[in-house]
Amino acid sequence: MGHEPPPSYAQMRLAITAELSELEAQGRLRKRPVIDSPNGRVLVLRQPGGRRKLHNWASNDYLGAANRLRVKNAAARALRSFGAGAGAARLLSGGLSCHRRLEERIAHWLAAPDALVTTSGFQANLSVLVSLASGPEDVIILDRLCHASTYDGAHLAAGTMLRFQHNDLADLDKQLRRTSGAHRRLVCVESVYSMDGDEAPLVGISALCREHGALLLVDEAHAIGVIGPGGRGGCAELGVQADLRIGTCSKSLGSQGGFIAGDRELIELVVNRGRSFIFSTAPVPAAMGAAIESLDLLREEPELPERLRREAGEVRSALRSQGWQVPEGRSAIIPIIVGSEQPALELSALLLAHGHFAPAIRPPTVPPGGCRLRLSITLAHRPSDRLRLIKVMAAARSRWRDEAAAPGPAGPGA
Ligand SMILES: Cc1ncc(COP(=O)(O)O)c(C=O)c1O
């Protein structure tokens, strides 16, 4: 290998083009949609022939907070008070009182000793795993269906990464027994899984962690604002003492930025060792203002999560009764599992043709064979929006049986 001449620039470009063509042939090439409107109950999609107004089923703004006037006003106030950007990383000069205020609010809300705000939820996972699994004798044990940010954090960390079968307590127990000699073990799960919308058996997982002396990290990104008392997530609902809870302001809080809640010492360790926290500019003040206001919104309207679950439940039941492969659940995420790439793309295109935006979810976001549409129900949607969706899916279902050449809705789940 060392004796071959290096590839020319032209050869490298050709290889990259070939890689993209292969992705396209596999139905896995991704494109960036451009939206000319807020990402609300409807959106305006830029398309080659012009613009199209579509019903939007792809936003994780579950409570519809991002476009509530009071949340936008709070963002504007924070922007006017602190400026458009934070200016630097928190440990340099970027630590503004709005960052600390959000941390205090989150810690209080989740009854945690402390919290740390990061620029994204992705960064929160990276910085936690790098900080806590910092030596070769450390082990990270994650559920197979954990988010890419947990996987990437585990890859970046010095410790060894192991996986257990999704929601399988016996397999987790096995991995914990296998690693009894490790210096430090971290078990990573999500209270609500991002692509399936199902929930982790947190009580059993927490008991196993205690029994084996492992730390428990629960990513509550899709649970905050959706389940638990007043939307406080899965741990709060079940009385589970996770060592660290990860969250994001980018979903139910209608803003941007990640957070970590837990014991002071663990948070301090992340402040000192979490490179993606240390070496990245603090979140913009407007995002902090918006997130704080959304927490106020949840406090003043604690019925919102329950309403969201009820409305999502109605859509889930309707789709299941139409015969689609939709797993049971109670979150705002409704996966319609169709199997391989092509039927997922076809179903997405069919919905688009009828005015509904629901992109196909394909590997590597989901395992091969688990392609799906992932519908997010939000409180921004009106009853008539949901009704339209259900009608279009009923019509798609009958055409689907007739036309789909591929395995169709009976494909394997994730
Ligand atoms: C489970 C989970 N964790 C973390 C993240 C990352 O959050 P953010 O979008 O704030 O980077 C996401 C977002 O997609 C997620 O689904």
pLDDT exceeding 90 applies to what percent of the chain? 92
| Residue 400 confidence (pLDDT) | 79
Q: Taking the chain, what is the end-to-end CA distance rounded to the nearest angstrom? A: 39
Q: Is the CB of 122 under 6 A from ligand 1?
A: yes
| Residue 401 confidence (pLDDT) | 63
Residues labelled as active-site residues: 60, 147, 190, 194, 219, 222, 251
Q: Which two tokens stand for residue 100?
A: 């600390």
Q: Are strands 244-248 and 258-262 parallel, antiparallel or unpaired?
A: antiparallel
Q: Does residue 55 surpass a pLDDT of 70?
A: yes
Q: Is the CB of 194 under 6 A from ligand 1?
A: yes
Q: Does residue 413 surpass a pLDDT of 80?
A: no
Greater model confidence, 172 or 407: 172
Per-residue pLDDT tens digits for 86-109: 999 999 998 999 999 999 999 999
Q: Does residue 411 surpass a pLDDT of 50?
A: no
Pocket test for ligand 1, best of 142, 143, 250 (most atoms within 8 A of CB): 250
Look up residue 306 and give its DSSP letter: H
Burial 201-220 (b: 16+ CB within 10 A, else e): ebeebbebbeebebbbbbbb
Q: Which secondary-structure segment (H or E) carries 190?
A: strand 184-190
Pocket test for ligand 1, best of 106, 152, 194 (most atoms within 8 A of CB): 194
Q: Tokens 């997010």 belong to which residue? A: 376
Q: Is the CB of 118 under 6 A from ligand 1?
A: no
Per-residue pLDDT tens digits for 102-131: 999 999 999 999 999 999 999 999 999 999
Q: What are the residue ranges of CATH 3.40.640.10 in the chain?
A: 68-300
Q: Are strands 360-361 and 371-376 parallel, antiparallel or unpaired?
A: antiparallel
Query: Residue 402 Cα, ligand 1 centroid: separation in angstroms?
Result: 37
Task: Please state, rounded to an integer, the average pLDDT across all residues of the chain.
Answer: 94
- Count of other CB atoms within 10 angstroms of residue 336: 27
Work out the average pLDDT over 399-408: 50
Q: Which two tokens stand for residue 360?
A: 């196909």
CA Rg value for the chain? 22
Omega of the bond prior to 285 within 30 degrees of 0, cis? no
- 402 confidence band (pLDDT: 50, 70, 90): very low
Q: Is the CB of 414 under 6 A from ligand 1?
A: no
Q: Which two tokens stand for residue 330?
A: 């109670």
pTM (predicted TM-score): 0.94
Q: Does residue 412 surpass a pLDDT of 60?
A: no
Q: Is the CB of 250 under 6 A from ligand 1?
A: yes
Work out the average pLDDT over 24-51: 94
Q: Which two tokens stand for residue 368?
A: 């091969």
Q: Are strands 215-219 and 244-248 parallel, antiparallel or unpaired?
A: parallel
The dotted CATH code for 68-300 is 3.40.640.10
Query: Residue 254 Cα, ligand 1 centroid: separation in angstroms?
Result: 13
Per-residue pLDDT tens digits for 372-387: 999 999 999 999 999 9
Q: Does residue 350 surpass a pLDDT of 80?
A: yes
Question: What CA–CA distance (Å, rounded) separates 298 from 223?
Answer: 13
Q: Which secondary-structure segment (H or E) carries 391?
A: helix 383-403
Pocket test for ligand 1, best of 116, 117, 122 (most atoms within 8 A of CB): 122
Q: What are the residue ranges of CATH 3.90.1150.10 in the chain?
A: 32-61+303-410
Query: Residue 219 Cα, ligand 1 centroid: separation in angstroms?
Result: 9
Q: Which two tokens stand for residue 217?
A: 């990290």
Question: What CA–CA distance (Å, rounded) separates 159 from 144?
Answer: 17
Q: Is the CB of 385 under 6 A from ligand 1?
A: no
- Atom index in ligand 1 nearest the CA of residue 250 equals 10
Q: Is the CB of 322 under 6 A from ligand 1?
A: no
Q: Tokens 């910092």 belong to which residue? A: 134
Q: Does residue 273 surpass a pLDDT of 60?
A: yes
Q: Does residue 409 surpass a pLDDT of 70?
A: no
- Count of other CB atoms within 10 angstroms of residue 80: 12
> Please, are residues 157 and 126 in contact by the beta-carbon 8 Å criterion?
no
> Please, are residues 44 and 51 in contact by the beta-carbon 8 Å criterion?
yes
Query: Residue 322 Cα, ligand 1 centroid: separation in angstroms?
Result: 31
Q: Is the CB of 381 under 6 A from ligand 1?
A: no
| Residue 302 confidence (pLDDT) | 95
Work out the average pLDDT over 195-211: 97
Q: Are strands 138-143 and 160-164 parallel, antiparallel or unpaired?
A: parallel
Query: Residue 221 Cα, ligand 1 centroid: separation in angstroms?
Result: 6
Q: Is 108 exposed, middle or buried (0-12, 13-18, 19+ CB in 10 A)?
A: exposed
Q: Is the CB of 147 under 6 A from ligand 1?
A: yes
pLDDT exceeding 70 applies to what percent of the chain? 96
The dotted CATH code for 32-61+303-410 is 3.90.1150.10
Query: Residue 411 Cα, ligand 1 centroid: separation in angstroms?
Result: 27
For residue 119, give every residue at least 6 positions away whose Cβ sits within 8 Å of its Cβ, in sequence order, or none.
256, 257, 258, 280, 281, 282, 283
Per-residue pLDDT tens digits for 212-267: 999 999 999 999 999 999 999 999 999 999 999 999 999 999 999 999 999 999 99
Query: Residue 194 Cα, ligand 1 centroid: separation in angstroms?
Result: 8
Four-point Cα dihedral 244, 250, 255, 258, nearest 10: 30
